Amino acid sequence: MDGSYHNQALLAKLAVVAMAMFGFGYLLVPFYYKLCEVAGLNQLQAADSVPRNTQVDEGRAITLQFDANLRDGLPWVFRPLQTTAQVHPGQFVQVLYEVRNDSDQAVLAQAVPSYAPQAAALYFRKLECFCFTQQSLRPHETRQMPVVFLIDPAIPGDMPTVTLSYTFFEIEGVRPQASANGKGRDVARL
Amino acid sequence: MTTRLAQILAGLLLCLAAGAARSQSKYNFQPPQTVIAHDIYDLHMLLVGICAVIFVVVFGLMFYAIVRHRRSVGHQAKQFHGNLRVEVLWTIIPCLIVVGMAYPATKTVIAMKDTSHADITVKATGYQWKWRYDYLGEDIGFYSDLSTPREQIENRASKGENYLLEVDHPLVVPVGKKVRILVTANDVIHSWWVPAFGVKQDGIPGFVRDSWFKVDAPGVYRGQCAELCGKEHGFMPIVVDAVPEEKYNAWVADQKAKNSAAVVAAASAAGKTYSLDELKTEGEKVYAKNCVACHQASGQGMPPTFPALAHGKIATGPVPGMVDIVMNGSKKNPTMAAWKGQLSDTQIAAVITFARNSFGNTLGDMVQPSQIAAVRN
Amino acid sequence: MQAVLERAAGGEPVTQPKGIMRWVRTTNHKEVGTLYLWFAFAMLMVGGVMALMIRAELFEPGLQIVQPELFNQLVTLHGLIMVFGAIMPAFVGFANWQIPLMIGAQDMAFPRLNNLSFWLLPPAAILLVASFFAPGGATAAGWTLYAPLSIQMGPGMDMAIFAVHILGASSIIGAINIITTILNMRAPGMTPMKMPMFVWTWLITAYLLIVVMPVLAGAVTMLFTDRHFNTHFFNAAGGGDPVLFQHIFWFFGHPEVYILILPAFGIISQVIPAFARKPLFGYRSMVLASCAIAILSIAVWGHHMFTVGMPAAGQLFFMYATMLVAVPTGVKVFNWVGTMWEGSLTFETPMLFAIGFICVFVFGGLTGVILAIAPVDVQMQDSYYVVAHFHYVMVAGSLFAIFAGLYYWLPKWTGHMYDEKLGKWHFWLSMIFFNLTFFVMFFLGLAGMPRRIPDYALQFADFNKIASIGAFGFGLTQLLLLYVVIKCIRGGEKVPARVWDGASGLEWTVPSPAPHHTFATPPVVE
């Protein structure tokens, strides 16, 4: 019948659209990260290339603050060894963070950086950072970890203070206690 | 007659708006205490004014039609169904109104985002279900917990003036200084909101997000968590004590002194040995403040999310297992926090002892602060 | 019980199943419409009871009736059930009854799919209600299901996810059915620009449904795999971001609220011309405005996220785009007033609800514009101001429009006039109690009361008491509606084909009650 053919053709087309939109929902995920990357908002977990212009801008000083957080349940103590620093854009900076594993087991964790203001992320060139790799600490081990970076001289003038904050998350599946129970995991799977 | 009606309506609306603006009444925002809060307040009044005018015009016309263009007074319907000029006008004019609203709003948006040149930086971390404040660069940090007694919430005592809006350790900030506040969260999304400041910033676990405020006048300002974060979402208020600069500096010095004293005290307490009764008494206090919301006064909990301590597997099991859960939280159930950061060795030892000897549990054993200290290190 | 429904031209069925099986197997658009409407009413009652439990707890400060955990579950399920179980199925019920009648079609394009779309709903509803009895109770993450809180929830969350998938499937299948019916099965001579506004708004709504419901399905599936299969879409630890959930959810969520209101606009556009006895003012611009609203609605989701920490550029974009939606919406309101202007108005119950809709929807809509202003939103986000706003547009908006349509078309469906006096009582009581309940919530929000809390500070007590009283009044008033509807079904003054003297449209050319089969031969439209 003529009518029902047209109906079925339209049904097929609309069903395809519906399925495509389901895929689009998933596509929003990489789209979101790409947008964040382009806007400089997301953390990049790989070493940055050093910018061509590493001329130190002596005329400007940026106040850096260093912050540390743990996700609940991680039996570590985590702190920056210095809480602030005054740096010039273009100047190489090394800062140390200290972690201590207070438990009786080896623990594997990953640090995630965050910047305030967010836009500062675009201008942080990290050459070495403990956030690039998972960190494993033996029972009761204390370790000092460096972050080596410079701030791109292109950083605009409206960010005289920048806070660099790290949060350590435990990697699941390493410690025997860490159950693979689906609920409420706050650990990394990388 | 109906133009009169419209005039009366307009007048009433304006009175209402004016009244709301003037009175510190419950019909408008809380009195603004920062420049941003002032801006928001004024912006809102402008918007309400524009909306009031729109109401009067639209409803005036509609009610005119209802009264005059009805069949029961014999009005005949005119069969028009369009008028290009009118339609163009009533599309363009709203566009202009919208642009007019957007302009002052844009300026405020940009001002709210400018966290540069702050005098102090504070980090607010949302936990389930309390806040923690850290003063970056000062090595001062503390938890800020609801201090309204449970009896008031459960209607067994009459409610105090600042019911649900009081904490044990408020955030202290200097008046007239730009405070940059970094908001994050430990577990789920929370939100730090102080209406008098015009500040609301969501705390996203894993990230810090900054905002700022500069308080005009000294006072105590109260707010609440503004993002659903679990069962005690309504019970984790924010209290900010804005004090003159000298008082603030004195407070900072005092806090630092207390920190070192606390370290000393904890160390000495950790060395002491307590009796079972001493531990149970102290433990009962710790329990009432920190554990009762989930594990209940009866120790029955609310299984499965909040296990019973009464005859509970862990509470009556080996001591090290219970110590680990209380210190480090539960992997399986993240609503069980890691208390090692919030309670001293003595408090942890006491509450474990209390739980193992209450609610029908009769283990008779006790845990000394030194045992907790050993695990901690 | 075998049944063969003979589809002879104008012929009566040979045999048809009786009793329950008739309703289980029906493929008749009128019967499916009836099923949807009864289901929606039942869900309105279930969601309403939850609302009353919430308001009972909030009557006074302190915890009296429910513990915070259960309170949050009630808040969550109230939202899910009202949105997905009451409002959306009610509008689909209207679509089923009215679209074929209004376009001169014999039935929907896919009658058996139509049956499936409906029967997917009761299992989903049972899942949602049953989730209260799962270990840990129903999900308590708010109907918006934000991660990571929703990831912490127990099995009740998984039941809700499953229910949302089923509800989404039902909506998508229904939307495909509606689009196909409208595009392919209009009577000869009914060009698109001759379609009634109700048909237009449903066409646009159906397209929106197909575009956004699958995205919701994606979002809750991501929640599901984050919960159980070690993905980390919303977990910063794994390189994910909790805010990503909000983006995906609101990409669905904002168009969803327009899905909830566009059919309401369509109903109002049918009712007002009938009782003004003149054609709809600005039909063409109504169509354009509805399209504009739908398209713009896809670009404004960020206004639910002004406080997450997005950069100023993001706040500004979403603020401007959201404010822009006010323009076509305003145009629609002006067109309705323009329809009333110089009309010959009478005020039977459908018209009362339509006028009530305009009054209260304008209020809700303008508070939406206020919320769109990002700095002001920073004070109002997650406060009772937002709760008031969306109840104004969804209850006074969608629900009152549903009531208007119900009174308008019930005589056509049943062949009897409803009791006009009781209908008017229903209207006035609903209006008064609705405003009593929700108007004061604007002040609560301004004063600083957050939402989703079971207990509150003392300065919020007076308005909460008023709101709770209003809520009980509003809830009880809806029992009056039930009485009116049942009374009308059972009997009443017989009505002619053209029930309302000012009404126009193909549905008024068939007898009242509308026969089981109509338009077996399509009419010709001039």
Tell me: do A77 and A131 sit in the same domain.
yes
**What mean pLDDT comes out for the span C322-337?**
96
Q: What is the predicted pLDDT for the residue at C35? A: 97
**What mean pLDDT comes out for the span A4-16?**
90
> pLDDT confidence of A183, banded at 50, 70, 90?
very low
**Percent over 70 (pLDDT), chain C:** 97
Buried b (16+ CB within 10 A) or exposed e, A17-29: bbeebbebbbebb
Tell me: do A104 and A165 sit in the same domain.
yes
In a domain, residue A48? The reply is: no
**Percent over 90 (pLDDT), chain C:** 93
Q: In what order do the strands lie in the sheet with A92-101?
A: A76-80, A92-101, A142-151, A124-129
Cα separation, B94 vs B54, in Å, equals 10
- List chain B residues with CB under 8 Å of A183: 332-333
Peptide bond into B304 cis (omega under 30): yes
Cα-Cα-Cα-Cα dihedral sign, residues C255, C257, C260, C261: negative
Buried b (16+ CB within 10 A) or exposed e, B341-353: bbbbbbbbbbbbb
Which 3-state string (H, E, C) describes C279-319? CCCCHHHHHHHHHHHHHHHCCCHHHHCCCCCCCHHHHHHHH
For residue C52, give every residue at least 6 positions away whose Cβ sits within 8 Å of its Cβ, in sequence order, or none: C471, C472, C475
Tell me: do A77 and A19 sit in the same domain.
no
Cα-Cα-Cα-Cα dihedral sign, residues C148, C152, C154, C155: positive
Per-residue pLDDT tens digits of chain B, which is 377 residues long: 445 655 666 566 665 655 555 445 689 999 999 999 999 999 999 999 999 999 999 999 999 999 999 999 999 999 988 899 999 999 999 999 999 999 999 999 999 999 989 999 999 999 999 999 999 988 899 999 999 999 999 999 999 999 999 999 999 999 999 999 999 999 999 999 999 999 999 999 999 999 999 999 999 999 999 999 999 999 999 999 999 999 999 999 999 888 877 777 766 666 678 888 889 999 998 898 888 878 888 898 888 778 899 988 888 889 988 998 898 887 777 678 778 877 888 889 999 999 999 998 888 888 888 888 888 76
Inter-chain touch A18–C212, beta carbons under 8 Å: no
Q: Is the pLDDT of residue C234 over 50?
A: yes
Which residue has better confidence, C381 or A61?
C381
For residue B159, give every residue at least 6 positions away whose Cβ sits within 8 Å of its Cβ, in sequence order, or none: B148, B152, C61, C62, C458
Tell me: do A83 and A164 sit in the same domain.
yes
Ranking A128-142, C23-37, C501-515 by mean pLDDT, the lowest is A128-142
Helix, strand or coil, per DSSP, at residue C338: helix
- Is C196 within 8 Å of C248 (Cβ atoms)? no
Closest by Cβ to B376, choosing from A102, A112, A167: A102
> pLDDT confidence of A49, banded at 50, 70, 90?
low
- List chain B residues with CB under 8 Å of A112: 206-207
Q: pLDDT digit string (tens) for A116-165?
A: 888 888 888 888 888 878 888 898 899 999 898 888 888 888 889 999 99
Ranking A103-112, B182-191, B349-358, C257-266 by mean pLDDT, the lowest is A103-112
- φ/ψ of residue C380, rounded to 5: -100, -20
Q: Is the pLDDT of residue A45 over 70?
A: no
- Is C317 within 8 Å of C325 (Cβ atoms)? no
Class of domain C24-509: mainly alpha
Ranking A24-33, B94-103, C437-446 by mean pLDDT, the lowest is A24-33
Q: In what order do the strands lie in the sheet with B199-203?
A: B171-174, B238-243, B219-225, B190-194, B199-203
Query: What ranges make up the beta strands (E) of chain B?
Result: 120-127, 130-135, 140-144, 171-174, 178-185, 190-194, 199-203, 209-214, 219-225, 238-243
Which residue has better confidence, A175 or C405?
C405
CATH number at residue A69: 2.60.370.10
Nearest CA in chain B to A100: B377
Nearest CA in chain B to A180: B332
Q: What is the mean pLDDT of chain C?
A: 94
- List chain C residues with CB under 8 Å of A188: 232, 235, 237-239
**Which amino acid, one-letter code, is at C154?**
G
Cα-Cα-Cα-Cα dihedral sign, residues C268, C273, C276, C282: positive
Residue A159's domain comprises 62-189
- Cα–Cα distances in Å, from C9 out to C2, C13, C105, C410, C519? 22, 11, 13, 26, 9
Cα separation, A10 vs C177, in Å, equals 9
Q: pLDDT digit string (tens) for C186-225?
A: 999 999 999 999 999 999 999 999 999 999 999 999 999 9
- Cα–Cα distances in Å, from C139 out to A6, A171, A181, C133? 43, 27, 18, 11
Q: Which two tokens stand for residue B112?
A: 């709210």
User: Closest Cα of chain B to C157: distance in Å?
Assistant: 14
pTM tops 0.95 = no
> pLDDT confidence of C116, banded at 50, 70, 90?
very high
Q: What is the predicted pLDDT for the residue at A50? A: 64
Closest by Cβ to C219, choosing from A25, A185, A186: A25
Q: What is the predicted pLDDT for the residue at A182? A: 33
A40 touches chain C (CB under 8 A): no
Q: Is the pLDDT of residue C15 over 70?
A: no
Chain B stretch 97-116, residues whose beta carbon is closer than 8 A to a beta carbon of chain A: 113-116
- List chain A residues with CB under 8 Å of C152: 183-184
For residue B170, give every residue at least 6 positions away whose Cβ sits within 8 Å of its Cβ, in sequence order, or none: B144, B220, B239, B240, B241
Inter-chain touch A114–B207, beta carbons under 8 Å: yes
In a domain, residue A56? The reply is: no
Inter-chain touch A75–B328, beta carbons under 8 Å: yes
β-pairing verdict for A76-80 and B190-194: unpaired
Q: What is the predicted pLDDT for the residue at B132? A: 96
- Is B144 within 8 Å of A188 (Cβ atoms)? no
In a domain, residue A52? The reply is: no
Active centre residues of C (catalytic): 78, 107, 143, 170-171, 254, 256, 258, 269, 303-304, 329, 332, 451
Q: What is the four-CA torsion angle of C119, C121, C125, C126, rounded to 10 degrees? A: 20
Helix, strand or coil, per DSSP, at residue C332: helix
In a domain, residue A55? The reply is: no
- List chain C residues with CB under 8 Å of B54: 362, 366
Cα-Cα-Cα-Cα dihedral sign, residues A131, A133, A138, A144: negative
For chain A, how many structural domains are there in total? 2
Helix, strand or coil, per DSSP, at residue C25: helix
In a domain, residue A54? The reply is: no
β-pairing verdict for A124-129 and A92-101: unpaired
Inter-chain touch B208–A83, beta carbons under 8 Å: no
The number of C-beta contacts closer than 8 angstroms across A and B is 100
